[in-house]
Structure 1
Amino acid sequence: MTLLAFGINHTTAPLHIRERLAFAPDVVVPALNQARARAGAREIAILSTCNRTEIYVDCERDSRELFAWLTEHSSISAEELASCHYLWEGDEALRHMMKVAGGLDSLVLGEPQILGQMKSAYAQAKEAGAVGAQLESAFQQVFAVAKQVRSQTAIGQNPVSVAYTAVTLAQQIFSDLKQDTALLIGAGETIELVARHLAEQGIKYIIVANRTLGRAQELAGQYKGEAVLLADIPDVLHRADIVISSTASQLPLLGKGAVESALKKRKHKPMFMLDIAVPRDIEAEVGELDDVYLYTVDDLNTVIDQNRKSREEAAERAMEIIELGVNAYRREQRALDAVDTIRAYRKKADELREQELKKALKQLQSGGDSEKVVAQLARNLTNKLLHAPTTALREASAKGQGDTLRLAHELFAITQDDLDNSEKE
């Protein structure tokens, strides 16, 4: 197995690159099938979030074909992708996956959402038939280690997430949220967390806009808020002091003109807007307006850095757990490598046994002495089982291959007493 982890993230690629390599939920399965057919990927899973796009693959060929497929699939040139991607192989790939799942590679150190996102990526790939024995064992080890990191370190205490940080940033703009109305665009997990954090901070009113009204009503109803469709955003935008957007839309939902109209109705009362979607939901030109504070997911770094320091000690302990997990997986894979050899040797031994047993039964049926026949059976079987290894050991000894002899002592459980006693015979 050649386990590869190929990707870009918030530390290697700017937002305008990440949004062009993002995989919308409805294109992931077709992309998995294309990658398997065209990039030599036996097994593959795609993780696409606002901060990263990563591909985990058991590859038949080298990574160049995967790289070529990605440039064809997206609008990114080979030069752009080459300048910002990373590629991990083998143990390093597994270690990276564990760091991602444990929240150690996130924009917000220790954020909990990424584990659920990785589990969703795994489940989607498995349902598409793109996960076989190799990726299955890798993902299960990754999830087990991530669970240990969460339960055995303080990295998951006092939950911090992009959603939490978004609300913290809003509080820096509007010190008292009790007087403000928030328009939340989308109704996924991130927006759900944003709504909860806003409610905890006493937000006055919440409006939820979503592609499907039912989901918007379900979320808004938890906070006695209002639900609207995405198409209705221009009608309610002027009421919003805070706008936080996180959808899977491939095109912007809010343009400069719509925001300008809303500002006129607000008599230019300031608006805080945070776009944490990739690709972006709010056109960049909106940030040019005088009364708008527009932030993207990349702008959260300053707030997040303040929380990072308190988690670094927990992260060190988490890395120790990850190293143990990588070592355990390596041992497991090495043990699996021996399965075919053990199975073949057992088959060979069974065949020799059957051959000698047939000879012995034939002799007994011919009236041979049973005691002599059994003794001959044992002697012949022992000689045939030992012939190949003893011949190889003599050859190794003649060539001065001491390591082979020492390995033989371990394989056959030969002690120094056994060696000393053999010399006396």
Structure 2
Amino acid sequence: MNLIALGISHNSAGVEVRERVAFAPEQVGEALIDACDVGGVEEVVILSTCNRTELYAMVSDGANLGDKARELIDWVANYHHLSAQELHQCSYCHEGHQALRHLVQVASGLDSMVLGEPQIFGQLKSAYAVATDAGTAGAEFGRLFPRIFSIAKRVRTDTAIGENPVSVAYAAVNLAGHIFSDLGQCNALLVGAGETIELVARHLVGAGVRKIVIANRTLGRARELAQKFGAEAVLLAEIPAQLSNADIIITSTASQLPILGKGAVEQALKVRKHRPFLMVDIAVPRDIESQVGELPDVYLYSVDDLREIVEANMRSRSSEAGKADFIIDEGVRLYMEEGLSLEAVDTVKEYRAMAEQLRDHELQRAQRALDRGDDPRQIVAQLSRTITNKLIHAPTAGLKQASVDGRQDLINNARKLLGLEGSSPQPQPDEDGEQAEPELPSSALENTRRTLQ
């Protein structure tokens, strides 16, 4: 399998690196086409989330997978104007069977910061859909990704890996519960209107937060989300006016530049008179300037700061990870076996065509003999001998050479391929020591003659 999975994630690099290699949604289409210009890369999908940026590439036959992986890392560095050496140090690469297994683990949430979190499944499906639209996901990925999604669904339905509500969004709300003694007395300002913010809003409502304001670049989407939770919708430009009333600020946008700066927070702190802020920035790149964390009465947490909470939540699901791994291993094995069987299709077709050509040639010879008035019994016997001898000639010669070469392994495999294990007894020699020809009933002779005619 010529599959490569490479990237940078929360397991290999901090948020400072991850935010620099992240692809904005509007960049992905162009980036996919650009990545396919790397020599030998035939298909590619790009997944870019808060916690990871990964490339999945199918390369041409004969290509060195390790070399192609290094070239793709160099491409990522060049695309984002970064140091290739730095990226090589914090990136990882999986090839072939291991790449496939990694992809299924990612889709199942087993490689996520929060074990079993469900968002990554939808994000990977979206990444595949974008690549399909861009023309960089073809026949190979068209067979691969549906199977990946099928295995991931089985992991979620056959194990309890996703039963408890653990996600980055849940971890952020859980953190708020540790900072404030009564969330029912708190107001929350959510920045962004994507899936993560929707999950945050759902958890905040469940925790009893008094008031929620959702700020977004477009008011329509903010209102749509606000209606689900009885929240208020505002534009990003209104954030400074909303800050002083917010106790909890959680941000998750796709902005390439910070949305909330130190100056605006300082002004809000003066109005709040030392009442603390909890700010959780779960965006990559970050939405809140890092200098905000230096201000008094501000508790600023990034995605990486949630790791301790996340790890505690992971322990509640870890007992199911073994079951999930078994399902993944089984699914990957079956897919690989199917792929290997497909590789034999051309050989089977070629062998069948050769056998049918041989049969047709011998049938024509037998037809000519019948036309001359030769004995049908002798014609059928000769036909069976000739076809048998010609079909077994190449395998017989190969087996003899394998014996000369001491290749018992080839002989054993040949017995399996030829169906000789547990085969029925062979015809016994006749009185003259020759193999007796099988007697054919007259009805069989007549049917054969009709066929030849």
One fold, TM greater than 0.5? yes
Deviations 1:75-109 (A, max 9, x none): 32112111110101111111111211111111111
How far did residue 323 of structure 1 move? 1.6
**Structure 1 residues 397 and 56, CA, compared in 2 at 3 Å: closer, same or farther?**
same
Per-residue CA shift, 1:38-80, capped at 9, x if unaligned? 2432111111110011111112342222122111111321121
Q: In 2, are the aligned partners of 1:100 and 1:114 still within 8 Å (CA)?
A: yes
Matched residues in 2 for 1:3 and 1:283: separation?
39
Q: Distance in 1 between matches of 2:6 and 2:428?
A: 56
1:239 matched to 2:239? The reply is no
Count of residue correspondences: 425
The 8 Å contact of residues 39 and 69 in structure 1, kept in 2 or not, is answered as no
Residue 121 (structure 2) aligns with: 115
Select which of 270, 285, 300 maps to 1:279: 285
1-side partners of 2:348 and 2:181: how far apart? 69
Q: Quote the offset at 1:137 in angstroms.
A: 2.9
- Partner SS, residue 304 of structure 1: helix
The answer as to 2:391 corresponding to 1:385 is yes
Q: How far off its partner does 1:184 sit?
A: 0.6
Shift of 1:421: 6.0
Aligned to 1:220: 226
Alpha-carbon separation, structure 2, partners of 1:331 and 1:99: 19
- Residue identity over aligned pairs, in percent, reads 54
> What are the Cα deviations for residues 195-226 of structure 1, in whole angstroms up to 9, with x where unaligned?
00000111111111111111100111122221
Write out per-residue CA displacement over residues 209-260 of structure 1, whole angstroms, 9 at most, x where no aligned residue: 1111111001111222211111222222222111100011111111111111
CA shift in 2, pair 1:159/1:96, >3 Å: same
**Unpaired runs of at least 5, structure 1:** none
Deviation at 1:170, TM superposition (A): 1.1
Over 3 Å counting, the alpha-carbon distance change for 1:104 and 1:417 in structure 2 is closer
Residue 260 of structure 1 pairs with residue 266 of structure 2: yes
Opposite residue 381 of structure 1, the aligned amino acid is: I
Is 1:194 equivalent to 2:200 in the alignment? yes
Map residues 273-312 of structure 1 onto 2, 5 A cutoff: 273-312=279-318
Q: Is the 8 A contact 2:78 2:84 kept in 1?
A: no
Q: Which residue does 1:17 correspond to in 2?
A: 17
Specify the code of the residue in structure 2 equivalent to 1:155. I
Q: Which moved more, 1:304-313 or 1:276-285?
A: 304-313
* Aligned-residue offset at 1:140: 2.5
**What CA RMSD, in Å, does the superposition of the two structures yield over aligned residues?**
1.9
CA distance in 2, matches of 1:144, 1:188: 25
Could you tell me how far apart the structure 1 residues matched to 2:114 and 2:331 are? Answer: 23
Residue type of the alignment partner of 1:172: H
Counterparts of 2:423 and 2:386 in 1: how far apart (Å)? Answer: 26
Find the aligned partners of 1:376 and 1:202 in 2 and give their Cα distance.
Answer: 90
Distance, in Å, in 2 between the alignment partners of 1:173 and 1:139 is: 42
Mapped partners of 1:248, 1:144: distance in 2: 29
Aligned partner of 1:74 in structure 2 is 80
Amino acid paired to 2:260: L
Kindly provide the amino acid, as one letter, of the partner of residue 28 in structure 1: V
1:417 to partner: Cα distance: 6.1
Return the alpha-carbon distance in structure 1 between the equivalents of residues 406 and 311 of structure 2.
59
The structure 2 residue matched to 1:321, chosen from 284, 305, 327, is: 327
The one-letter code matched in structure 1 to 2:30 is P
1:127-206 counterparts in 2 under 5 A?
127-206=133-212
Give the structure 1 partner of residue 449 of structure 2: none
Q: Say yes or no: does 1:414 pair with 2:423.
A: no
Moved more, 49-58 or 389-398: 389-398
CA contact (8 A) 1:101 1:143 kept: yes
Candidates 187, 211, 216, aligned match of 1:210: 216
Give me the whole-angstrom Cα distance separating, in 2, the residues matched to 1:357 and 1:36: 52
Give the conservation status (yes or no) of the 8 Å contact 1:39–1:66: no
Matches within 5 A, 1:49-88: 49-60=49-60, 61=63, 62-88=68-94
Distance 1:158 1:110 in 2: 9
Cα displacement string for residues 111-170 of structure 1 (whole angstroms, at most 9, x for unaligned residues): 111111111111221222222232233322322221121112121112211111110011
CA contact (8 A) 1:112 1:159 kept: no
Structure 2: distance between partners of 1:118 and 1:142:
10
| 1:165-208 Cα shifts (integer Å, max 9, x gaps) | 11001111112111121111111000000000000111111111
Whichever residue aligns with residue 13 of structure 2, its letter is A
Cα distance in 2, alignment partners of residues 358 and 26 from structure 1: 66
For residue 313 of structure 1, report the CA deviation from its aligned partner. Answer: 1.0
| 1:361 aligned residue | 367
3-state DSSP of counterpart to 2:154: helix
Please state if 1:99 is matched with 2:121: no
Residues 257-314 of structure 1: per-residue CA shift (max 9 Å, x gap): 1111222232332111111000011111111111211110000011112212222111
Q: Report the more deviating stretch, 213-222 or 382-391.
A: 382-391
Q: Deviations over 1:311-348 (max 9, x none)?
A: 21111221122221222222112211211111111121
SS in 2 for 1:155: coil
Name the counterpart of 1:48. Answer: 48
User: Structure 2 CA distance, aligned partners of 1:44 and 1:364?
Assistant: 61
Kept in 1: contact 2:269–2:275 (CA 8 A): yes
Answer with 170-179 or 181-190: which moved more: 170-179
Determine which structure has more spread, i.e. the larger CA radius of gyration: 2
Cα–Cα, structure 1 residues 65 and 176, in superposed 2: closer, same or farther, change >3 Å? same
